Structure 1
């Protein structure tokens, strides 16, 4: 009697297992890092600076990471990135356990972690969907994200308890060990079934090729542009304004924590839904599910009572996950495998580039127009951007194909789409993935 579906091969199981392990550690480490800064007599601003120190190299090196992942074996890039994260977190843990490290040391180690993530993320997404056949890609990615999101929820809960029980240093040490174990699992990935990619003509040429892949597809750059602003609004609303609303009007950190946990549970429910649901109009379905992302900001602007906010966050989590899986299905179907990581890196870059700006401007905007107006503005902008993306014909027309036909990657997108079986004149777009603040782990 088999305990796993036939499509879930050795590589898929190794990738999913390694992701669950590393995310369990990383979710707790995010909490531990903040408390390590505070334990060293740091301020809230210092906590933000350490978080920014991780984000900045992540943004700076993402495009290079995507180009590297398309030039080298992706599993080796993933292992190297995990080793770097293991070393940085291990040293961070050692410094915290043996004293109170200065802020610059904690920021430098956080920056090393962000650098590792910049190389890991594009390579990872290229490997996950290369581990299953096209007709199973949607279900496989849904299962993968269900494990990832479940690990995020469990890791955050366990990490918070361990920080209180044994201190942040040991939680950082556990994260280092988790990265080591994940690297060991990924080292056993079999790359024999992945087609070899011919070396390109240099890093800059590879980056230009990746940009051409994005710029030549209206649906792709439109959604990446959309999420560069949508994610910024989400971060401003939920990372800056949300805790303030919770503290002043909802009863403190407890109801806010429950609402965020409900979002995480919703993402698991959305992934479970997508193991069964296979929408035909991939991007139309996914984009319609972006509209609910405007609801948390509106709920905070009212504000809804804690129970209402929790319900809104749960529903938003489901919607986010439907978008994420639909987006990845389209990407897997439409982007040439040998350029997958470069396109993925542009998507990550677009999704993250507005986040530091939004974090920095959220306070001044609140001072200028008031928190309620700022929250309603976040909600309105998300809805308007999503409505604008629905005006793009390729977004509405992309149709799922269980088996993608052989395709000349240099052929214009419209020609390939019109020739696809069952399209009957529909143009085919493609997606990239779930945006970091709402769907990446």
Structure 2
């Protein structure tokens, strides 16, 4: 494959504007993630409090994801994304003002991030399923890779910039910058034009009927539900070990700036692998994807065994590369094997199953570390992460799923 073919999606007008919107949105988001973590730790020096705030965002996402899938399959996905961006930006601006003025309290942040979670639940299925409407089918791998390259590139700089803002002007200003990016991202979606949905009639199925149809497809598609069940556990471990215990250990060892470098290293690994994926076809997307995602167990183990800056940077670089293999493989499996009319609902069931246990990890890892010690919890979690990934590959439908050259025709079992 030539390099000109690798960037072919950027010649599509719709994709260019979508790409610009994602650039602005991601730039603010990668700064906001680290800023919010340290803003919470400034208010309450407790991993449990940080877990509560993060869980407050995740729980509404889980609750409302299925509704978001139905909305994205019924209404124009660009409009769904624009409205969600405006709502999220408004809420983030309020959070930023409260942090800047030192009026923020944990319970207020919990309430506001919960409303942000509702907006995210509506936007996630639309975001994940819009790619087949933006580029030709043969450009899907390149389009997903370019999106990942953008995310990874910004994640290299974003955490470090966010950490720098935290230690200079404060976490509130990083959050305010993120609020502004939500609004700009909504404006950049205005030129995107995708085919309108067929008009609904009296014979059109109800939302409940569409949810049942989506569930039937999900349950009949073995590779889909097997991977989703695995990620129910994997995401719980990852969210608790990396995002709850990670910043806590960083504060006691290599500091906020060091943690920013660790997160940036993960993104550097993602970028390196994305460049490879722009040119190398991924023929067994889930086999290679599950082997790739298993590398996330490495930094979890390192946090427990030897939380040293250089070793953590190396481990996160490898994990970032492996995560990118899974990310592209999973999106290709979904976008090539599932009919476009079902795709948002399939992504919503995927996200529901994958995200449902994240609040458990966010809420449980702080108390578990207090009860059993950081080292034992992290070492056990790293071993469990590797084991779950390998167990998932015992499913033949997962390890043998090939690329699909022909368009998916209907919602039938794979």
Partner of 2:234: 230
Shift of 1:46: 4.0
| Distance in 1 of aligned mates of 2:246 and 2:377 | 12
User: How much has 1:151 moved relative to structure 2?
Assistant: 2.3
Match of 2:9 in 1: 7
Distance 2:118 2:303 in 1: 34
CA distance in 2, matches of 1:122, 1:278: 25
- Give the whole-Å Cα distance in 1 for the aligned partners of 2:107 and 2:235: 28
Aligned CA distance change for structure 1 residues 164 and 353 (closer, same or farther; 3 Å): same
1:57–1:111 Cα contact (<8 Å) kept: yes
Question: Which deviates further from its counterpart, 360-369 or 120-129?
Answer: 360-369
**Corresponding residue number in structure 1 for 2:32:** 29
Q: Which residue of 1 aligns with 2:213?
A: 209
- Unaligned regions of 5+ residues in structure 1, if any? 414-441
Cα 1:155–1:308 shift into 2, 3 Å: closer
Q: Counterpart of 2:314?
A: 311
Give the 3 Å change call, closer, same or farther, for CA 340–258 of structure 1 in structure 2: same
Matches of 1:3 and 1:405 in 2, distance apart? Answer: 20
Q: Do the aligned partners of 1:129 and 1:141 also contact (CA within 8 Å) in 2?
A: no
The answer for the alignment partner of 2:334 in structure 1 is 331
Matched, 1:155 2:158: yes
Q: Residue 278 of structure 1 is aligned with which of 278, 281, 288?
A: 281
Cα displacement (A) at 1:228 = 0.8
Cα offset for 1:234? 1.6
| Correspondent of 2:410 among 401, 408, 411 | 408
Return the offset for 1:251. Answer: 4.1
2:60 maps to 1:57 = yes
Deviations 1:114-156 (A, max 9, x none): 1111111110111123211121111110111111222233333
Q: 1:277 to 1:198 in 2, by over 3 A?
A: farther
Task: Choose 347-356 or 25-34, whichever is displaced more.
Answer: 25-34
* Cα offsets for 1:215-262 (capped at 9, x unmatched): 1111100000001101111223223343455455x5444444332221
> Once the 2 structures are TM-superposed, how far is the Cα of residue 180 of structure 1 from its aligned partner?
0.9
Distance 1:255 1:51, change over 3 A: same
SS in 2 for 1:7: helix
Could you tell me how far apart the structure 2 residues matched to 1:195 and 1:7 are? 23
- Deviation, structure 1 residue 69: 0.7
Q: 1:260 to 1:163 in 2, by over 3 A?
A: closer
* 1:342 partnered with 2:342: no
Taking structure 1 as reference, are residues 42 and 396 closer, same or farther at Cα in structure 2, changes over 3 Å only?
closer
1:266 Cα deviation after fit: 0.9
Q: Is structure 2 residue 91 aligned with structure 1 residue 122?
A: no
CA offset digits 1:395-430 (Å, max 9, x no partner)? 1221113x3245233x443xxxxxxxxxxxxxxxxx
- Alpha carbons of structure 1 residues 299 and 112: separation in structure 2 relative to 1, 3 Å: same
Distance 1:385 1:128 in 2: 30
2:94 is aligned with 1:91: yes
**Equivalence map 1:260-279=2 (5 Å):** 260-279=263-282
Indicate how the Cα distance of structure 1 residues 255 and 201 shifts in structure 2: closer, same or farther if over 3 A, else same. Answer: same
TM-superposed CA distance for 1:68, in Å, is 0.9
1: CA distance, partners of 2:9 / 2:362: 42
Structure 2 stretches of 5 or more lacking a match?
Answer: none
> Residue 364 and residue 162 in structure 1: after superposition, are their counterparts in 2 closer, same or farther (change >3 A)?
closer
TM-score by length of 2: 0.89
**CA RMSD, Structure 1 to Structure 2 (Å):** 2.6
Mapped contact 2:91–2:116 kept (Cα < 8 A): yes
Deviation for aligned residue 1:369: 4.6
Whole-Å separation in 2 of the counterparts to 1:252 and 1:100 = 25
Q: Distance in 1 between matches of 2:392 and 2:94?
A: 45
Q: What's the offset of the Cα at 1:197?
A: 7.7
